[in-house]
């Protein structure tokens, strides 16, 4: 028997597995690396984050990825080169993290690599007849496996597409396994570039659980800052937005898109929510001459409004849902204040309260997906579109 397959078989049979979860999201700030101890599988899963670090991308690497990121006119040769380079860089970053933690690579059972999304194209966004839902993550898993010597599961989104989903949000699987609680309605709200949440009903009925994108989180604010404030990457502590005033007409124009009326679950990305989207809304509302701080304030209100409308649609009659936040947007004081004001009955907290560092949460979710593929079963969310019962990830062997 191939020794690598024997090792895989052994890992699958262990009661506990050390799995490194990786995530690098739409904000392109760096690679989140979470070393997780996963035990059991399915509803018996438990996870402990042993170590977590975000290793930043260099400015040159960010610029390289940005040159193809969510761009219809991307240079195909660059995409090809970056597919390898992202894999190589991620492998180097994993080795650097392990060295910092003084952990030998051979003591790690597996890596779960999300890769770098460069284009997300569900049918609702591309609108091209005859073409399926599509999404593309680069950073090939074989580079990571070969360079680290650790079995790597990668490219999780393709199986989701192949079984009828949009390739996202995948958060639903891990959220359901580790954060569901009998007797409490929970919304796991991640405010990354795009905001999404998972609804976990208090009766733990899997057929009601879903995860959906709800609109922009930080992406429009970040894009605006990077365009108009050279040298800044985001509006730290919403300092600029808080000095401005939201414009009602622009906000209405921003909210005027069929994405917000579509049923859950749905997905989106910077392919829709980008500077062209803003310019169109400004033209439509006659607000092209607003001061930068007023535009930023409005964009922050826009993110809050998208989240708030989706929460209200989901929780309806539930009086006191618990909203458990993660992702960089939870550090934006204006955004969080707007959400709390709009949803006074909800109880807000962060995944810290559930023993998971909110900045590590998405990386942990990918470790859990790999754990299920290695040792679990497809999770059954009932026969609904958008949440296929499936185990995900391609298995890349180091040798």
Ligand X SMILES: Nc1ncnc2c1ncn2[C@@H]1O[C@H](COP(=O)(O)OP(=O)(O)OP(=O)(O)O)[C@@H](O)[C@H]1O
Ligand Y SMILES: CC(=O)N[C@H]1[C@@H]2OC[C@@H](O2)[C@@H](O)[C@@H]1O[C@H](C)C(=O)O
- Annotated binding site, which residues? 25-32
Which DSSP helix (H) or strand (E) runs through 242?
helix 239-242
Nearest to 36 by CA among 46, 23, 27: 46
Q: Where are the beta strands (DSSP E) in 122-247?
A: 134-138, 152-154, 186-191, 194-200, 210-216
Select from 49, 125, 151, 168 the one that contacts ligand Y (CB under 6 A): 168
Residue numbering of the annotated binding site for ATP: 25-32
Residue whose CB is less far from ligand X, 190 or 287: 190
Q: Does 169 bind ligand X (CB under 6 A)?
A: no
Mark 175-204 with x for binding to ligand Y (rule: CB under 6 A) and - for no binding. Answer: -----------------xxx-x--------
Q: How far is CA 125 from the centre of its chain?
A: 18
Q: Using the rule CB under 6 A, give the single segment among 23-31, 62-70, 170-178, 368-376 that binds ligand X.
A: 23-31
Instruction: Count helices and strands (H / E) in the chain.
Output: 14, 12
Select from 75, 205, 237, 256 the one that contacts ligand X (CB under 6 A): 237
User: Which listed option, ligand X, ligand Y, none, makes contact with residue 213 (CB within 5 to 8 Å by class)?
Assistant: ligand Y
Nearest to 86 by CA among 111, 65, 55: 65
Q: Does 193 bind ligand X (CB under 6 A)?
A: yes
Mark 47-86 with x for binding to ligand Y (rule: CB under 6 A) and - for no binding. Answer: ----------------------------------------
> Residue-wise over 371-384: b if at least 16 C-beta within 10 A, else e?
bbbbbbebbebeee
What is the longest distance spanned by two Cα atoms in the chain? 69
CA angle (321 as vertex; 316, 322 as ends), nearest 5: 155
- Residues between 19 and 48 with contacts to ligand Y, criterion CB under 6 A: 25-26
Q: Does 139 bind ligand X (CB under 6 A)?
A: no
Count CB-CB contacts under 10 A for residue 284: 15
Select from 170, 214, 250, 281 the one that contacts ligand Y (CB under 6 A): 170
- Coil, strand, or helix at residue 167? coil
Bridge partner residues of 199 (DSSP): 187, 210
Q: Does 234 bind ligand X (CB under 6 A)?
A: yes
Residue whose CB is less far from ligand X, 119 or 234: 234
Quick check: bond before 175 cis, omega within 30? no
Both tokens assigned to 277? 């989207």
User: Which listed option, ligand Y, ligand X, none, makes contact with residue 267 (CB within 5 to 8 Å by class)?
Assistant: ligand Y
User: Which listed option, ligand X, ligand Y, none, makes contact with residue 171 (CB within 5 to 8 Å by class)?
Assistant: ligand Y
User: Which listed option, ligand Y, ligand X, none, makes contact with residue 332 (CB within 5 to 8 Å by class)?
Assistant: ligand X
Q: Does 117 bind ligand Y (CB under 6 A)?
A: yes
Q: Does 135 bind ligand X (CB under 6 A)?
A: no
> Residue-wise over 336-346: b if at least 16 C-beta within 10 A, else e?
bebbeebbeeb
Catalog residues that contact ligand Y under the rule CB under 6 A: 25-26, 117, 120, 135, 167-171, 192-194, 196, 213, 267, 269, 362
Catalog residues that contact ligand X under the rule CB under 6 A: 25-27, 29, 190, 192-194, 218, 221-222, 234-238, 327-329, 331-332, 362
């Amino acid at each position: 028997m191939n020794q690598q397959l024997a090792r895989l078989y052994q890992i699958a049979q262990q009661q506990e597995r050390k799995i490194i979860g990786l995530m690098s999201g739409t904000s392109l700030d760096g690679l989140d690396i979470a070393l997780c101890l996963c035990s059991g599988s399915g509803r018996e899963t438990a996870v402990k984050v042993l170590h977590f670090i975000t290793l930043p991308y260099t400015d040159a690497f960010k610029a390289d990825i940005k040159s193809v990121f969510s761009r219809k006119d991307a240079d195909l040769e660059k995409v090809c080169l970056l597919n390898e380079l992202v894999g190589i860089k991620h492998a180097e970053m994993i080795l650097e993290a392990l060295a910092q933690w003084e952990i030998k690579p051979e003591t790690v059972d597996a890596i779960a690599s999300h890769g770098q999304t460069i284009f997300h194209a569900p049918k609702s966004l591309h609108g091209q007849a005859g073409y399926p839902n599509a999404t593309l993550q680069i950073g090939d898993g074989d580079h990571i496996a070969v360079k680290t010597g650790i079995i790597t599961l990668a490219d999780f989104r393709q199986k989701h597409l192949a079984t009828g989903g949009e390739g996202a949000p995948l958060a639903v699987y891990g959220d359901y396994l580790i954060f569901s609680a009998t007797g409490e309605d929970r919304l796991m709200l991640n405010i990354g570039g795009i905001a999404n949440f998972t609804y976990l009903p208090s009766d733990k009925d899997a057929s009601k659980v879903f995860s959906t994108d709800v609109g922009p989180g930080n992406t429009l604010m970040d894009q605006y800052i990077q365009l108009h404030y050279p040298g800044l990457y985001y509006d730290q502590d919403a300092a600029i937005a808080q000095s401005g005033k939201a414009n009602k007409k622009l906000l209405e124009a921003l909210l005027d898109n069929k994405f917000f009326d579509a049923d859950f679950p749905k997905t989106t990305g910077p392919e829709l929510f980008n500077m062209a989207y803003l310019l169109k809304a400004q033209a439509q509302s006659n607000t092209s001459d607003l001061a930068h701080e007023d535009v930023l304030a409005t964009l922050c209100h826009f993110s809050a409004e998208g989240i708030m409308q989706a929460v209200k649609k989901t929780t309806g009659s539930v009086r006191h849902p618990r909203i458990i936040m993660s992702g960089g947007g939870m550090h934006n004081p204006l955004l969080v204040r707007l959400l709390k004001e709009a949803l006074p009955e909800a109880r807000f907290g962060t995944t810290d309260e559930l023993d998971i560092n909110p900045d590590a949460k998405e990386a942990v979710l990918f470790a859990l997906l790999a754990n299920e593929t290695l040792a679990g079963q497809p999770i059954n969310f009932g026969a609904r579109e958008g949440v296929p019962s499936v185990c995900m990830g391609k298995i890349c062997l180091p040798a």
